[in-house]
Chains A and B, each alone.
Chain A
Amino acid sequence: MKRLRFLFLAPAAVVLAATLVAPLAIVSVYSFLSRGAYGGVTEPFSLENYARLWDPLYALIFWRSLWIAAVSTAICLILGFPLALFIAAAGRRKTLYLSLVILPFWTSFLIRLYAWIFLLRDTGLINTALQALGMIREPLPMLYNEGAVILGLVYGFLPFMVLPLYATLERLDPSLIEASADLGARPFQTLFRVTLPLCAPGIWAGAILVFVPSLGTYLTSDLLGGSKTILIGNLVQNQFTSARDWPFGAAASLALMIVAAALLLAARPSGERML
């Protein structure tokens, strides 16, 4: 058993060592260095970057990012669950419906965000249609606000919720649902007391795959939010691009990872291991 397990874990472990552990070690070292004159890092070593982070400005940025990520994850769950249910119950067409969910995401996210701008802007498709139908008189401000950012995040991460949910829902034994109905439960009761607990691993997986990456998002807040609010992803991105302060970016990024890890540890369902 041990040998099989070792063989199974080895390839992934090697890849992770090369693509994550070693680079992460480098990032950690960077976070204690100082910025080079035009980018890159130089000596001296110091704790200055972490000291800089200890500032209400950055706490506010962290808090905003956490809030937006949490809301987006919740909405993804609410919107994604019925869709996953539909696909799991679709019989022979399951894989087809599943592929249809993810197919749009095989094109550039950036260009699709531009398409959303076209849809949401004041002279965009939605406003023009609504005005033509006489439903509104003034265009609705659907772009360049926090709501637009959340919409963009939900749009961008929905498949990452739907696919893990599907993976667990597909396993669901329909007879359990039937039994619940036979015992007199109404559909909603069955949903909350039978279905949801059974697919809890899927919900947890989907939440991880949506919440954690969306903490580091920068493109959506730039394009749909009008770049008016700075989130942790934007902050880190800036440090490695226009600000050319890699050590500070490294420190901010490590802080983000620690916060994300702490949240996951605190929030995981009782009895579940981390993964």
Chain B
Amino acid sequence: MIGAAASAAGCARGPRLNVYNWSDYIAPDTIAQFEQETGIYVRYGTYESVQEMLAKVMSGNSGWDVVFPSNAFIQPMRQMGLLAPLRREWLSHLDALDPAFRQPPWDPGLHWSVPYMWGVTGVLYQTGLHPPPLAWRDLWDARMAGKITMLDDEEEVLGACLKMEGYSWNSENPAELRQAQRQAIAQKRLLRAYVNAEVRDQLVAGDVTAAQAWAVTAAQAIQAAAGKLAFAFPAEGFGRYCDNMAILRESRRQQAAHRFIDYLLRPSVSAQIASAAQTATANGAARQLLPPSLRDNPVLYPSEEVLARAEWGAAQSPESQKLRDRLWTEIKSA
């Protein structure tokens, strides 16, 4: 309550920073501690999807300073001239990052973004199932008819179908995409629904037997329904994403923004966030500080062997996006 009054006062003057992030991606104390330490008032806004964030910042004067785009959007945002180049001299904790994330394919020199949290998509299922669904193909199994769900996301559904057919998650080939679409349409009569994170509750309650789900949803569900649920990394391969911290070119608070990013890179802070949000962090030093239940959680941090099957999601060319959307509309209308 006092915080609300203080924030109202903070609105008026003094140094400030506007941070635009996904919800549930920060620990309860992170912002308050940053404000105490630096005296910078932080306005923390949340968005529901990257497209929503893009629509706001595309104009070039949205008022936000720090945003958290997913990896597939870093290049597009660069091309639209929306991102500010990062100044290494202002980021002292970059080496806290896990080695695997120091030269990410979407930004090898880390000139524009800093990896934050990452995750994968796989199959979340009831442990009672024999044999367990370990591949995307198993979500087409008639045994589970009416109790299967997929994510309500065109990239995820088409990606899974593409992988099942042996193609790339990011394929732009029309023939391959149409094959994938046929699979998706064939699945529809077995499908209960296209649901996102809400499927967690239904799996715990038993309405759904197997679902395409994000690893973070799975980790939460498995923890809540101990022993009843399990997560599989599909044998054919699966998609992977990473949310990154980035600074908008329009921001006139570049130094404060860098300070905030550097603060989030601190192992202790990052560990706090990873515990609260229960996601996989790209910060290797922070991961070491996590309790073993999180640090060694196979759902959040699968082995290298498993990750070798993963493919980073990438931005689609406009023609391919158009085709995919048409295919998705047809799938939904079928």
- Interfacial residues, chain A to chain B (CB-CB below 8 A): 35, 37-40, 57, 60-61, 114, 117-118, 121-124, 143-144, 222-223, 225-230, 234-235, 238-245
Contacts and interface: CB of A to CB of B under 8 A. Distances in A.
9 contacts: A39-B58, A57-B329, A121-B205, A123-B202, A144-B192, A226-B149, A240-B55, A242-B328, A245-B325
A255 to B, nearest CB: 15
Contacts of A239: 325
Given A37-B76, A230-B333, A245-B325, A121 B193 contact: no
A230 B334 CA distance: 9
Given A37-B79, A121-B202, A144-B192, A230 B329 contact: yes
Contacts of A225: 193
Summarize A's interface: helix, strand, loop or mixed.
Answer: loop
A223 B330 CA distance: 19
A152 B242 CA distance: 35
Contacts of B318: 35, 37
Nearest to B205: A123
B333 A60 contact: yes
Summarize B's interface: helix, strand, loop or mixed.
Answer: helix
Given A114-B198, A229-B332, A241 B51 contact: yes
Contacts of A61: 329, 333
Contacts of A228: 188, 191, 193-194, 332
Given A60-B333, A238-B328, A226 B192 contact: yes
Nearest to B155: A242
B296 interface: no
Nearest to A52: B326
Nearest to B331: A230
Given A226-B193, A228-B193, A117 B198 contact: yes
A234 B332 contact: yes
B70 to A, nearest CB: 13
A38 B202 contact: no
B207 interface: yes
Contacts of A40: 58
A40 B155 CA distance: 20
Given A38-B76, A57-B329, A121-B202, A240 B51 contact: yes
B120 to A, nearest CB: 19
B93 to A, nearest CB: 31
